[in-house]
Structure 1
């Protein structure tokens, strides 16, 4: 029996959690808020601003955009994460990714291109160093030993 003053626990908007269980197969485009965990198969597109967790037995093919991606399953497609991508020990990610931070555990597999946002070289106008010499000036010159 509920005592007066006891509150029933209800998820707030910040605690949105969506779960696609093992054995579930989905094709199409899905948009979520909050955290999403996939343990089944998904083919298409998945979009969330929160965290996407791809479980050990999950297979995802298509386009993924998320705040954070944590995967120990299999992903084949294009992935964009605004915060980070973490490929856990048993995870396989095949495809191009774009993220500001990535972590790949020992035993995980990644095959593709990774864009971490460095679109230009840090030194656009390098200052000449005093210790660097132009070797082209010294080519074809014979060095004579001092006798």
Structure 2
């Protein structure tokens, strides 16, 4: 993904508390506490720390996340990523070296996911 494809960027050393709604692609390299909601793509950088709930189209995790994730399309936890919490998604990729401490619920589609909730 090219840098120009990112709609918003929260850099290292920044801290945000609250609710984030976005379209497109957002990258977070800082600290975030709260809720994130979008049909788009959330990129979580390796130095990031996020705690809360995430409901997105896709999530790519290289940093630290604690909480609940619902991803309509997929979740990727890269080798530097640490996820502690619950994941609901139709597709999950966990690279060698990644840490996943929690529960996983995989569904075939977003419609099936809504029936479960």
* TM > 0.5 fold call: yes
With the length of structure 1 as denominator, give the TM-score of the two structures: 0.69
**Is 1:47 aligned to residue 37 of structure 2?**
yes
* Aligned equivalent of 2:24: 34
- Structure richer in helix, relative to its length: 2
How far did residue 64 of structure 1 move?
A: 0.5
2:10, 2:38 → 1: CA distance?
14
**Is 1:78 aligned to residue 68 of structure 2?**
yes
2:41, 2:6 → 1: CA distance?
10
C-alpha RMSD of matched pairs (Å)? 1.5
How far did residue 16 of structure 1 move?
A: 6.0
Is the Cα–Cα contact under 8 Å of residues 60 and 75 in structure 2 kept in the other structure? Answer: yes
* Aligned equivalent of 1:93: 83
* Aligned equivalent of 1:108: 98
Structure 2 runs not aligned, ≥5 long = 113-117
1:41, 1:27 → 2: CA distance?
9
Segments of 4+ in structure 1 off by > 2 A? none
How far did residue 48 of structure 1 move?
A: 1.5
With the length of structure 2 as denominator, give the TM-score of the two structures: 0.86
Among 49, 55, 62, which residue is 1:65 paired with? 55
